[in-house]
A = this chain, B = another copy of it.
Amino acid sequence: MEAANKLLAPTPIQYLETLPGGQEVFIKRDDLLGFSFGGNKCRIGAEFLEDMRRQGADFMVSYGSRRSNLNRVVASMCKSQGIPCLIISSEEDGEQDGFNAALVDFMGAGRVFCKKDSVAGTVGNTLQALRSQGHKPYYIYGDAHGMGNEETARSAYRKAYREIRLWQEHAQAEFEAIFLASGTGMTQGGLLAGKRQQHGREKIIGISVAREAGPGAAAVRRYAGEGEEEVCFEADYRCGGYGRYDGEIEGVIQRMMERHGIALDPVYTGKAYAGMLRWLERYGEGMKKVLFIHTGGLPLYFDYLNGRMGVGR
């Protein structure tokens, strides 16, 4: 499997900076995973494709926003393995295609659009149509309502958590908290499951990039499975919702590139890093070491640069 070949090695954990509050920040470089611009969705997508193969399915169906990193990775992995792929996206007000959507197109995946309140119906109809054409489709979220495939998604960051644990043992260091951008809940849920399984002690703090506290925490809990008792989902730093950002987030993105040569984007990782900084100001007194997981999304950084350069699309 070509994709897996490029994903074998654990990603580095690097010291990044010490904050005014005294906390040392480390960063896990999942942005350096070597397939289709990296990111958390490489790990998760690889699990979906493996599960699909186990089930003997022959047609991939995914769902997400036009800016979704998952859909870019899934379309790319499917292309590399000769698996046909359809991407369903809900039409958001005024949301435009960026590099992720362009890459979905260039990888030859089909795209289907629907209204936000008719996702389940569109997924159901799509799967039915594929079956009637003789295909055995695989929907990454499970059933048409997006339920039932939590274990597959969870397994990706349950494994990644192991890398974090081993690093700490090797470095004889303990992170008091792990921060990450939290959207679908798959990544945070997997980390929580890994923590429970491997008796970790860190707080695992998801910075919401979109959802409000209630539904966001519920999604994480669902993906966490056995790790569900303790869900820290912080919805105070959403900046008004999915894809929205302000000067503070832009400042964090600029500063990260200036100081560390690392690209963050305004939709996920930049928002999450900015949220982490605020969270630590409020609650982080006495914390010594924290880890930020860079969950990738490089094409979104270049979308952002296009915007800054006044390049229309």
Contact = CB atoms under 8 A, between A and B. Distances in A.
A279 interface: no
Interface stretch (A56-64, A177-185, A303-311): A303-311
A242 interface: no
Contacts of A102: 305, 308-309
Nearest to A42: B261
Contacts of A261: 2-3, 6, 34-36, 76-77, 80
A313 interface: yes
A258 B107 contact: yes
Contacts of A263: 37
Contacts of A289: none
A258 B106 CA distance: 8
Contacts of A79: 258-259
Contacts of A99: 302, 305
Interface stretch (A7-15, A132-140, A191-199, A221-229): A7-15
A2 B80 CA distance: 35
A8 B306 CA distance: 31
Interface string A33-48: 0111100000000000
A29 interface: yes
A149 interface: no
Interface in A268-313: 298-299, 302, 305-306, 308-309, 311-313
A15 to B, nearest CB: 7
A260 B34 CA distance: 9
Interface in A79-119: 79-80, 99, 102-103, 106-108
B106 A257 contact: yes
B37 A29 contact: no
A172 interface: no
A106 B251 CA distance: 12
7 contacts: A2-B261, A31-B34, A34-B262, A76-B258, A106-B254, A302-B302, A311-B312
